[in-house]
Structure 1
């Protein structure tokens, strides 16, 4: 897992755990002191926030576990995969585009960083130079011909 993603996820987990163990119990305690809980908006909002924080913490911890299982040795040397930089020719736009396949946390389409789980990313994964990937987008089908490929292994050298 890229170190900056791990750090970002750990920071969010730490912040949410602090909120869950320190801030929210204090808010709930204050709201309970106001009396009748059936019509106590502060109490209900704090409890809803507590449920949200718990759910988000679960998601983040699961994602950390998933990312820690990524084994770079399993990423092929000659096909598009996580960490690959791909130059493609988009026949519908009649232009060359460069994409780098990254995790969903890093994706930024404006910078050419696309997630391996995005429609374009999914269509490119497992392809080789010369292959044509068909991508179904809301604006219709696009055909991307892979012109150049630099895998994560080549980039590390």
Structure 2
């Protein structure tokens, strides 16, 4: 990772930690299937062994990236509560009156319904905004407006 350390929100951190645990378990399973015998085997056995070795390389690379990202976020400290950034938890009100608390994330995570990626239309519109700001953005259904009610996880105050 390059640049200054970037914070990460709690939900995104938990998602990365879960992915890391899953990858480590998968790596252990794949590593256990690699043969350590000296017999060369047939071409199919060698091809299968090479495929598993390549899979280990991909798993190791992803494990390293996630570990570095988690370490970087720890160095960055908590997300800012002054202006919206990656890792921020933001409570917003849509024009239909719906209020939602979302977390700005650098990546999509399928099982996390409240994550908004920083490069999505809503995420881009919210970056750098402060509580009280109202912003317009291009949503899939057309132009939308959202008001920033607060920054920070509302559950932290309880």
**TM superposition score category, shorter chain reference:** 0.5 to 0.7
Matched, 1:77 2:81: yes
Shift of 1:127: 1.2
> C-alpha separation between the residues in 2 aligned to 1:83 and 1:54?
33
- 1:1-150 correspondence runs (5 A): 2=10, 4-5=14-15, 7-23=17-33, 25-26=34-35, 32-33=40-41, 35=42, 37=43, 40=44, 42-70=45-73, 71-73=76-78, 75-81=79-85, 82-90=87-95, 94=96, 96-103=98-105, 104=107, 106=109, 108=111, 111-128=113-130, 129-135=132-138, 137=139, 139=140, 141-150=142-151
The TM-score, its normalising length taken from structure 1, stands at 0.65
Which has more radius of gyration? Answer: 1
Where do 5+ consecutive residues of structure 2 fail to align?
1-7
- Measured in 2, the distance between the counterparts of 1:10 and 1:112 equals 20
- Structure 1 CA distance for aligned equivalents of residues 124 and 67 of structure 2: 21
How far did 1:95 drift?
A: 5.2
Tell me the CA shift for residue 58 of structure 1.
0.7
Q: Once superposed, which parts of structure 1, at least 4 consecutive aligned residues long, lie more than 6 Å away?
A: none
Change in Cα spacing, 1:115 to 1:29, as seen in structure 2 (3 Å) is farther
2:5 is matched with which residue? Answer: none
Residue 86 of structure 1 aligns to a residue in which SS? strand
Q: Relative contact order, CA 8 A, sep 6+: which one is greater?
A: 2
Greater per-residue helix proportion = 1
TM-score, structure 2 as length reference: 0.64
1:58-77 deviation digits (Å, cap 9, x = unpaired): 1232122112212235x332
Q: Distance in 2 between matches of 1:29 and 1:118?
A: 50
* Residue correspondences, number: 142
Relative to structure 1, the CA distance from residue 49 to residue 120 in structure 2 (aligned partners, 3 Å threshold; closer, same or farther) is farther
Is residue 107–residue 115 contact of structure 1 (8 Å, CA) maintained in 2? no
